[in-house]
Structure 1
Amino acid sequence: MKIAIIGAGSIGLLFAGYLGKKHAVTIIPRREEQCAQLEKEGISIVMEGNKCFKTIVKSNIGYESLNEQDLVIVAVKQYHLPNIKPILVDLKHTIPLLFLQNGMGHIEILKDLNSKTILVGTVEHGALKVNDYTVKHNGIGQTNIAMYKGESSIIDSLVSYNIASFPFCQQYNWEKMLVKKLMINAIINPLTAVLKIKNGQLITNSFYLSLLKEYFLELFSVFSFMDKQLVFEEILKICRNTSENKSSMLNDILHNRKTEIDAILGYILERAKSQKIQLPITKILFQMVKGMEGGSGE
């Protein structure tokens, strides 16, 4: 397949590095400097034990090649989506799109697109961008993909791409899939960012664990159609499996970058408002993270 990946952050690089071993991948970064580096160096994936492999990919700044692709993967952060929405609207409607954003704010944008086939995904891998062409794969998980609308043949192609360190798994209810990831992100990201701790400390410190449990019950009041025990156990499992990792939101705070707090907690607060549900812990965490990233909270 010919695959274009929009976005060259940690997730974009990770996907390009693995998918480029089998498919013809073009990665589209925002900066010309990164584009030149990717063209020159390719993508280096550093795995556990410092094992490393390199993948040669194409890279360009423009979007002219998108209409020649068999699949376009959108791996930019949620807050960059409005900037590329006009590009996606103008794509040939026959080209499938796969969105890999945290949160659920992007669902509103999907409604305005003309593409016949749209997929949404959640990424369970741990990935840390080292430089413009190197990403550390510091937690092997899987990519869950579900059909938002259209035909499923493209899912079959991805699922059949069988590599132990980078599996794809088809899910059949896109909303439950996204809500599960949303709840996980809503718990781990803001708490670790505010407390400035690694993921594992949320469950090894009894006071933090007590806070996590109370906060989880508050969030569950908004998503009561989910399996409470299943989601809670998944949160604990991820904290254990990524115990030495810093969450993406904590990394954003430490590097003075904008976070995805609006796409995660902002979305949940709006949803709770429509259901007339009060979320005091969520609101406090939202305001704290907004203040830490230099936002006014307005």
Structure 2
Amino acid sequence: MKIGIIGAGAVGLLYGGWLGKFHEVTMFPRTKEQARLLNEKGITVKGGMSPFTVSVKAQETPVSPGTQELVIVTVKQYDLSGAAAILKKMDTAIPVLFLQNGMGHLPLLEELPQERILVGTVEHGAARIDAVTVAQNGRGKTNLAFFRGNWEGIAALLETAPDVFPFRLLPDYEIMLLRKCFANAMINPLTAVLKVKNGLLLTNPHYANVFRAVFEELIALFPKLSRQEMWEEVTGICRNTKENESSMLKDVKKGARTEIDAILGFMLETAARKEKEIPVSAALYEMVKGMERRN
């Protein structure tokens, strides 16, 4: 399968590396320099198993990925407008998969002309080391669901590498995205403000009290979600990634823009729409926005 990947940050490199072992991958990074390096050196994935390097093609992002059988968009949510401009020039029959945190991108997807759109959530941990190297800090799976249309080629993606880099197709994109957004809204802002690894949200009793307070605020917004299941899910993520730094903490430490608007901002918008107060979450949002402004 010919797969184009828009974005060559941590997630883009991780998917380019793994899918490049089994498919013909073309990367569409932001700069000509990164495209040159990817063409010369390929992508190297390091992590819990033996490091590997795969050869990929690369072109600067403004080039339309119009000859692909699947396009995967891995840029962060606040950069999606640029990717959308590229997608609008593409053949609308080419399926597109979006891998972003949060749910703020759904209105943008409604405006796209593509006949087949999928959304996904990423359970892998990834950290970009340099322009061609990514560290896989945790192995999980990629959850997929159709936002629009259907695609017979999904079978080839699901069967790519089920034992080492699995994809799972789910029936309801809204519930899938909401569960991931819920977990991110609990873990990312709090770790970014406290500057701690994920595990300390449970093992430090004072941090755990705030963690629980945020949970109680957010679960009250979504009666469709099971309280017990969501508590087990978010605490399980903290335990399984106890030595990891959240992506938002990494962004804050780098002085980079965070995805706070796409994640906790969505929760605040939901609370306002339902006329509910979530004061602890609102305070965390303002703290992260303040750190962004400072940087």
Q: Output the TM-score relative to the length of structure 2.
A: 0.97
Partner of 2:76: 77
Q: Indicate the SS of the match to 1:144.
A: strand
Give the SS at the match of 2:155: helix
Name the amino acid aligned to 1:105: G
Q: Counterpart of 2:293 in structure 1: which amino acid?
A: G
Counterparts in 2 of 1:112 and 1:295: CA distance versus 1, 3 Å: farther
Percent identity between matched residues is 47
Q: Which residue of 2 aligns with 1:140?
A: 139
Please say if 1:229 is aligned against 2:232: no
After superposition, residues 151-230 of structure 1 pair within 5 angstroms as 151-230=150-229
Counterpart CA distance in 1 for 2:199 and 2:271 is 28
Q: Which amino acid aligns with 1:45?
A: V
- CA offset digits 1:54-92 (Å, max 9, x no partner): 010001104445111100000000000112222212221
Q: Deviations over 1:188-220 (max 9, x none)?
A: 100000000000111111121121111101011
Where 2:66 maps in the other structure, the secondary structure is: helix
Q: Secondary structure at the match of 2:215?
A: helix
Q: For 1:207-242, what per-residue CA distance to the aligned partner results, in whole angstroms no more than 9, with x for missing partners?
A: 211211111010112122112211111111111111
| Aligned residue in 2 for 1:91 | 90
Once structures 1 and 2 are overlaid, which stretch shifts more, 287-296 or 242-251? 287-296
Per the alignment, residue 22 of structure 2 pairs with 22
Q: Structure 2 CA distance, aligned partners of 1:278 and 1:53?
A: 49
Structure 2: which 5+ runs fail to align? none
Structure 1 portions without partners, runs of 5+: none
Structure 1 SS opposite 2:293: coil
Cα distance, 1:47 vs. partner? Answer: 1.7
Match of 2:244 in 1: 245
> Who is 1:285 aligned against?
284
The answer as to whether partners of 1:89 and 1:112 remain within 8 angstroms in 2 is no
Inter-CA distance 224–295: structure 2 relative to 1 (3 Å threshold): farther
CA distance in 2, matches of 1:260, 1:154: 31
Aligned AA for 1:77? Answer: K
Note closer, same or farther for the CA distance 1:295–1:270 as it changes in structure 2 (3 Å cut): farther
Indicate conservation of the 8 Å contact 1:18/1:166, yes or no.
yes
SS at match of 1:162: coil
Deviation at 1:162, TM superposition (A): 2.4
1:152, CA displacement in angstroms? 3.8
Q: How many residues align?
A: 295
Letter in 1 for 2:4: A
Asked whether the 8 Å contact 2:43–2:55 carries over to 1, the reply is yes
Deviation of 1:153 (Å): 1.9
* CA deviation after TM superposition for structure 1 residue 282, in Å: 1.3
